Structure 1
Amino acid sequence: MKVAYFGNDWHIGCLDVFKQSAHTIGHIFINGEQTFNQVIRQYATDNNIPVTCIKPDEEHIKNLIEQGFECFFSVEYAWLIPIPEDMKTVYAMNVHPSMLPHGRGTTPVSWIINAYPQYAGVTFHKLTSEFDKGDIIYQKPMTLAVDESFETWMVKLHLSIPLMLNEILVDFEALYLKAHKQEQGSTWPKISINDRVINWNMTTQQIKALAACCGRFGIVAMLNNETLLVNNIEVGQIKHEYKNGTVIKEDSETYVVAVSDGFVILMKHNIIEQI
């Protein structure tokens, strides 16, 4: 198959899976010029593959179909791909990091880590005019570790999704034709900046869990009349008489802040920015 690939650096292993399965990557689409897309851009250069950074429209997709593209594959791609409804001769597939129909939405990993481990897994589904609602082609559940975080889970997805794609490509046409419709399911809202704010009345474990589900995007700490975005913390449990939210200790490297059952350490070199 001639494949149009929509994605970024994170799941670049899928490109090699297509190549090893004797398929051809003819075009790569990425979401803008972000620095994390440099690896896939270099891959495209090394393999003489054209790259598009703007949001594709339906005419763009039709032109690719006219050029002989047979498969449109999306993974971690932010924009809706407008596959024309009358184009029944192409395969169009997206990868979603939850067990659909549960976990539709743009930030399922954070919700899985924070609240819904029972829906951990990966779903390959058909692309439609609505995000995450296409017929299910293939899915596989996964199990979270006790201390799972956003970052560790993303690495596990990075390692697992290419292996799943390889399984699919062994008998792709049959699986695609047998795809089944989704049930009602659930859509989870996007994690907002307000969802990432530390409440100093939380316990150490609650704050640790908040940091785990937000990962590199950081959690928000309101401290000393400043609002800080932090992407790493440490916690400790001990009895004390400080009021929640009080800075117990500050030096050139850390803030140590009191909470009900102990303290939180904010490492200053891990403060992303003041907001």
Structure 2
Amino acid sequence: MRIVFMGSPDFAIPSLEKLYQSRHEIASVVSNVDKRRGRRAKPSPTPVKARALELDLPVMEVEDLEDPDFYRDLKDLQADLFVVVAFRILPPELLEIPRRGAINLHASLLPKYRGAAPIHWAVMQGEQQTGCTVFFLDERVDTGQIIAQRPTDIGINETTGDVYNRLKEMGSVLLTKVVDDIEQGNYKTYRQNHDEATPAPKLFTEDCKIDFDRPARQVHDNIRGLSPFPTAWARLDGLKFNMYRSALGPDQNLAPGVLVMDEDDLLAGCKAGTVILKQVQLEGKRQMSGKDFMNGYSGSGRLK
């Protein structure tokens, strides 16, 4: 089949590579326009665009998905299938272009965690399992008919980054199989149960502040669910204190946010129980272990 692949972040790269290695033809890769990724940096391509150029694939950059010229360019490609991985919401008129429809790889077991940050929210909610879903796109976000799913367990100390790296590889294998199945007509679809849907909206800095006046398990799930980005944080002596890795600690009677050393572990008190802060970073300093941080620390010892 002739495929138009749409994606921008590195999550989509394994899917692009596997389709490139398949018997199908990638007629074009669509990605976001180049942008500055630092104040003084020159505009740079998205990870997907950069990889597509390395593979010598034709690339279309797009800013406005409703641009009539973009619509015409897409239609001229005469694609059989659009394959979308970590991209934007396609206008309904674009979904009508490919002969066999448009499919999307989503990093959750739909209908759970619809939205921009499905892995983050699954980990933050303490889910023991998540997965990936390939489904046909329709006019609403993440609501289309499901073609295939594949689950994976979430370890109690795994971060969003850990699960992300696993799902982008798992998802690429599932996606490539679905593309083959669509070509052969060897697939079935089923509707999502919308009553079971849960949201996974984009996370902002203000959403990442940790409230230690909560049970330890909730604090731990939030820290690992926000790692490595956009990153859990609190205030320590007026400075931003980032937390990247944690674990459930012993049941000690510490006031919420109080920091103490317990042998080689840095503990933070919670409303019920404690968490071990394994990897931290104080504003202006490098990232380090909790133990190394406390070795050079002489402040108040309370996170707020």
**How does the TM-score come out when normalised to structure 2?**
0.73
Tell me if the contact between 2:223 and 2:246 (Cα under 8 Å) persists in the aligned partners. Answer: no
- 1:201 aligned to 205, 213, 218, which one? 213
Structure 1 counterpart of 2:118: 108
More off after superposition, 29-38 vs 121-130: 29-38
SS of equivalent residue, structure 1 residue 212: helix
More off after superposition, 212-221 vs 116-125: 116-125
More off after superposition, 28-37 vs 215-224: 28-37
SS of equivalent residue, structure 1 residue 232: strand
After superposition, the CA RMSD in angstroms is: 3.2
1:270 aligns with 2:287: yes
Superposed CA offset, 1:224-264 (max 9, x none) = 234x2625245684687864334659xxxxxx674144566
Structure 2 counterpart of 1:5: 5
SS of equivalent residue, structure 1 residue 69: coil
1:42 aligns with 2:50: yes
Superposed CA offset, 1:147-171 (max 9, x none) = 3221110011122112112322332
Tell me if the contact between 1:4 and 1:69 (Cα under 8 Å) persists in the aligned partners. Answer: yes
Structure 1 counterpart of 2:301: none
Structure 2 counterpart of 1:81: 90
- 2:63 aligned to 54, 61, 67, which one? 54
Tell me if the contact between 1:102 and 1:186 (Cα under 8 Å) persists in the aligned partners. Answer: yes
**Could you list the runs of 5+ residues in structure 2 that have no partner in the other structure?**
38-43, 289-304
1:186 aligns with 2:185: no
Tell me if the contact between 2:32 and 2:46 (Cα under 8 Å) persists in the aligned partners. Answer: no
| Structure 1 position 129, deviation (Å) | 1.7
Superposed CA offset, 1:184-227 (max 9, x none) = 1313142444442222334554432211111121012022234x
**How does the TM-score come out when normalised to structure 1?**
0.80
Could you tell me how far apart the structure 2 residues matched to 1:236 and 1:90 are? 48
Tell me if the contact between 1:198 and 1:222 (Cα under 8 Å) persists in the aligned partners. Answer: no
Tell me if the contact between 2:84 and 2:103 (Cα under 8 Å) persists in the aligned partners. Answer: yes
Structure 1 counterpart of 2:77: 67
Q: Which amino acid aligns with 1:41?
A: K
Tell me if the contact between 2:81 and 2:99 (Cα under 8 Å) persists in the aligned partners. Answer: no
SS of equivalent residue, structure 1 residue 102: coil
- 1:212 aligned to 207, 224, 236, which one? 224
SS of equivalent residue, structure 2 residue 120: helix
Equivalent residue pairs, number? 263
Percentage of pairs with the same residue: 19
SS of equivalent residue, structure 1 residue 134: coil
Could you tell me how far apart the structure 1 residues matched to 2:151 and 2:139 are? 25
Superposed CA offset, 1:98-127 (max 9, x none) = 111222121111221132636611111111
Q: Flag the 1:192–1:175 CA change in 2: closer, same or farther, 3 A.
A: farther
Tell me if the contact between 1:168 and 1:175 (Cα under 8 Å) persists in the aligned partners. Answer: no
Q: Which amino acid aligns with 2:89?
A: L
Could you tell me how far apart the structure 1 residues matched to 2:214 and 2:232 are? 14
Q: Which amino acid aligns with 1:45?
A: L
**Could you list the runs of 5+ residues in structure 1 that have no partner in the other structure?**
250-255
Could you tell me how far apart the structure 2 residues matched to 1:21 and 1:27 are? 15
Q: Which amino acid aligns with 2:237?
A: N
Could you tell me how far apart the structure 1 residues matched to 2:100 and 2:22 are? 18
Could you tell me how far apart the structure 2 residues matched to 1:247 and 1:43 are? 44
SS of equivalent residue, structure 1 residue 199: coil
Q: Which amino acid aligns with 1:222?
A: R
Tell me if the contact between 1:204 and 1:264 (Cα under 8 Å) persists in the aligned partners. Answer: no
Could you tell me how far apart the structure 1 residues matched to 2:227 and 2:50 are? 27
Could you tell me how far apart the structure 2 residues matched to 1:57 and 1:141 are? 35
